[in-house]
Amino acid sequence: MSVTAAKGFDAAAVAAGLKSSGALDLALVVNRGPLQNAAVVFTSNRAQANPIIWSRQVIADGTVSAIVLNSGGANCFTGPQGFQVTHATAEAVGEALGVSAGDVLVCSTGLIGDQLPLDKMLAGVTAAGASLGPHGEQASLAIMTTDSKPKRSVREGEGYTIGGMAKGAGMLAPGLATMLVVITTDAVISSADLDSALRNATRVSFDRLDSDGCMSTNDQVSLLASGASGAEPELDAFTSLLTQVCGDLAEQLQGDAEGASHDIRIEVVNALTEDDAVEVGRSVARNNLFKAAVFGNDPNWGRVLAAIGTTDAAFDPYDVDVSMNGVRVCHAGAPDRPRSDVDLSPRRVDLRIDLRAGAATATILTNDLTHDYVHENSAYSS
Amino acid sequence: MSVTAAKGFDAAAVAAGLKSSGALDLALVVNRGPLQNAAVVFTSNRAQANPIIWSRQVIADGTVSAIVLNSGGANCFTGPQGFQVTHATAEAVGEALGVSAGDVLVCSTGLIGDQLPLDKMLAGVTAAGASLGPHGEQASLAIMTTDSKPKRSVREGEGYTIGGMAKGAGMLAPGLATMLVVITTDAVISSADLDSALRNATRVSFDRLDSDGCMSTNDQVSLLASGASGAEPELDAFTSLLTQVCGDLAEQLQGDAEGASHDIRIEVVNALTEDDAVEVGRSVARNNLFKAAVFGNDPNWGRVLAAIGTTDAAFDPYDVDVSMNGVRVCHAGAPDRPRSDVDLSPRRVDLRIDLRAGAATATILTNDLTHDYVHENSAYSS
């Protein structure tokens, strides 16, 4: 059900002709109220797509009536003409629904640097506006690009529901938000509380997913609340449930990352600060040599230490323990159990780095570097 | 001739049995004087191999009699036992040559986390000490790991010579120095001037090579001066000639990078500062998506803008020009000439990024991300 699991939301998905395959490529999600509260987090990339520039204005007042999303083109670095396409799309949604264009978020995903065809966007919006209903599942299909499957998650709170959808398989290294994610809830909750909950949830979920080190220009996570359940949850409880939904979606993104054959969970423990733990984990997540070794089922822990040695985190490189899938292969910066004891054949890889410097912990999710990653990304736009 | 092109230097190379292939794996370079001045730059990785820890002590007084280098093992994260191997190797060289072990630099390269066999190292040193001569070419073979060919460079100054050798094909993203490089000269020049010249030369050569974003634990560039020519060059002229040798070796390293099918020259122009230009160039050199696109001969300039948007450099992402092999595909952040005008089939790729923000320039050298890179690095230690 994804974005239509919570009461007060309708969705539609159509094939607007943006994808040459003729697949679904435009989704519309509408908040029927009674509330129209919302919060959004955006990519921290300074290179921002036109829909990001537009949506930043829309969310300024914390009110959102609808969100329209397209695959088949990122509408990024397309100049003033590209911004006009985004603007006209929001106007068309406003007209179709009888709401202000200034309350319509826009998201786009696909190739950077190509114009989106305005006529197809407008016809798609009209068709979507005419077919709204409990179509969250179809909406999650329409936002896919190189994704092999849709990503959806629903959790039930006390008298309310949180549901969401996500897309993303490459350029997967969020700075603040990541990829395209829409989450809806029927809880009664203010825009300010939504913002607080969303920032807390994304900080420990999407922000800790770093599949390929490449940050997108179009990342956006939108959270819309209808209040239709009448339930008024405590902020802590709501944040906790929202974090579960975000974490579930982040793991689905990791599991479907372009070309990946391993899902690597990097747990950094006993760091002096949480920031240190994140920095250390991310340095490993971005190390091509380590990631290629995992692809080859090679427990090459020396590459882990070479990677973390490039960080500014507080630890002694010669007093670090490294375990892979439960086998401690490095103790105090020297060889411990033999590499041959580590079995890296399962898709899931647990890498544990004990910095022995404090009590803070963070977990970063990444993938291996494979032939299929190179293949998919050397042929994407051609 | 590499390291024995300059007067006053002998070298030897032997097969010490460190490589299972039986190939040359230990090199010795000796400075016969009359001067024994030297300068060294080391990796800025905090995770440092035992030979780096040793060599830092040796160079403290600016005097070096000899340098011994081995492939077949990095001697990094091998604990106190590993340091003993380095120490004993330097002692053996000192004994063979009748010099102080404290004037013997040691370099190692190969797999991290495995012990180097002490007996083979000592026997290798003895054999090398007994076969010294004008064997710079053989020495450049003995330091190879995954290199497909040796890297050597010689330049003639006014009455003096600078020659060098280098190895390195992966884990190629220097922080201060890179890989193993030994450069010799017969110029009469002080250790302080050697240090100044070496830092200036490496800053614009090895430091601007970033093949795969992975910084080594064993990088070391050593410069030894014998004074045997009697020529006393101006420091500026010497630095300029040394920079040519370093640049030549850096390009040879790029040309032989593991699995690469393209040598990419990223020229960042009109930056506000040189640091900005380097940061922008490096962000592209580390972007797997762009590098995979080049492998696929795909001029995907959107990935260039997405990469540079993650930097803190001063520029407006919507006022940037991007050219590939002379074709301006992006002007002021919008599409310019069609992608199809760009021919990426030659090995050499020229990417030019005009930030339109100032007058500073920097060039970063990198490679594409290929199937062969993944293959070589998923199978390296197995």
**Is A103 in contact with A36 (CB distance < 8 Å)?**
yes
Q: Are residues A241 and A317 in the same domain?
A: no
The per-residue pLDDT for A172 is 60
Q: Which of A178, A239, A243, A370 is the catalytic position?
A: A178
The shortest C-alpha distance from B317 to chain A (Å) reads: 6
By percentage, how much of chain B surpasses pLDDT 90? Answer: 65
Q: How many CB atoms lie within 10 A of CB A358?
A: 17
The whole-angstrom distance between B185's CA and the closest CA on chain A is 32
Digit-coded pLDDT (tens) for B109-160: 888 888 999 999 999 999 999 999 999 999 999 998 878 889 899 999 999 9
Cβ atoms of residues A300 and B380 within 8 Å: yes
Say which DSSP state A282 is in.
H
Strands B220-225, B180-185: pairing is: parallel
**Which alpha helices (H) appear in A169-212, and where do they start and end?**
191-203
**Distances A170 to A110, A209, B308 between C-alpha atoms, Å:** 11, 12, 17
- Single-letter amino acid, residue B71: S
Under-50 pLDDT residues of chain A: 176-178, 382
Are B162 and B248 part of one and the same domain? yes
Residues A155 and A269 in one domain: no
Domain limit, last residue, from A255, A288, A307: A255
| Min Cα–Cα distance to chain A from B324, Å | 15
Among B255, B282, B315, identify where a domain stops: B255
With a CB cutoff of 8 Å and minimum separation 6, the contacts of A190 are: A37, A62
C-alpha B139/C-alpha B136 separation (Å) is 5
Residues B155 and B172 in one domain: yes
Exposure class string for A64-95: b at 16+ Cβ within 10 A, else e = bbbbbbbbbbbbbbbeeebbebbbebbbbbbe
**Interacting residues of A21 by C-beta distance below 8 A, sequence separation 6+:** none
Q: Could you say which of B77, B292, B373 has the minimum Cβ distance to residue A333?
A: B77
| B58: its two tokens | 């040796």
Portion 76-135 of B in contact with A at CB < 8 A = 76-79, 81-82, 111-115
Clarify whether residues B341 and B247 are in a common domain: no
The two structure tokens encoding residue B310: 């993650």
Higher pLDDT, B202 or B325: B325
Q: Are B141 and B14 in contact (CB under 8 A)?
A: no
- pLDDT number for residue B380: 54
**B35-57 pLDDT tens trace:** 999 998 887 777 788 999 999 99
**Which element (helix H / strand E) includes B185?**
strand B180-185
- B149 and B30 in a single domain? The answer is yes
Residue in chain B closest to A305 (alpha carbons) equals B47
Q: How many domains does chain A have?
A: 2
Q: Could you tell me the two tokens for A261? A: 């054959």
Handedness of CA A101, A107, A111, A112 (dihedral sign): positive
pLDDT value for B102 = 97
- Residue B203: per-residue pLDDT: 83
Residue A245 CA from chain centroid, whole number: 11
Question: Residues 52 to 81 of B: which have CB under 8 A from any A CB?
Answer: 74, 76-79, 81
- Residue B107 confidence (pLDDT) above 70: yes
Phi, psi of A354 (to 5 degrees): -100, 110
| Pair (B179, B274) in one structural domain | no
Instruction: Please write the tens of the pLDDT for every residue from B211-263.
Output: 777 777 777 888 999 999 999 999 999 999 999 998 888 888 888 888 889 99
Query: Would you say residue B172 has pLDDT above 70?
Result: no
Q: Are residues A240 and A282 in the same domain?
A: no
Q: What is the ipTM of this complex?
A: 0.76
Whether A331 contacts chain B with CB within 8 A: no
Is residue A333 within 8 angstroms of chain B, CB to CB? yes
Note the pLDDT of residue A382: 39
Residue A155 — φ and ψ, nearest 5°? -130, 145
Shared domain for B174 and B31, answered yes or no, is yes
Nearest to A334 among B78, B303, B311 (CB): B78
Same domain, A125 and A249: yes
B374 to A295: CB separation less than 8 angstroms, yes or no: yes
Residue B177: is its pLDDT beyond 80? no
CATH code of the domain containing B326 = 3.10.20.340
What pLDDT was estimated at residue B316?
Answer: 92
CA distances from A90 to A51, A97, A167, B265, B332 (A): 10, 11, 21, 42, 25
- pLDDT tens-digit readout, A45-93: 777 889 999 999 999 999 999 999 999 998 988 889 999 999 999 999 9
A308 and chain B in contact, CB less than 8 A: yes
- Examine the fold and report which residue of B255, B273, B301 is the final residue of a domain before the chain moves on: B255
Give yes or no: residues A125 and A189 share one domain: yes
Residue type, A219: D
Chain B CB contacts of A287 below 8 Å? 213-214
| Cβ-defined contact of B45 to A306 (cutoff 8 Å) | yes
Distance from CA of A188 to the nearest CA of B (A): 36
Q: Does A348 touch chain B (CB under 8 A)?
A: no
How far is A171 from A149, CA to CA, in rounded Å? 17
Who contacts A139 (Cβ-Cβ below 8 Å, separation ≥6)? A2, A3, A4, A11, A12, A13, A27, A28, A29, A69, A165, A182
Give pLDDT, residue B222: 84
Which CATH number do you get for residue A249?
Answer: 3.60.70.12
Q: Is A379 within 8 Å of B296 when comparing Cβ atoms?
A: yes
For residue A286, give its domain range: 263-378
- The reply to whether A235 and A313 lie within a common domain is no
In whole angstroms, give the CA distance from residue B251 to residue A271. 39
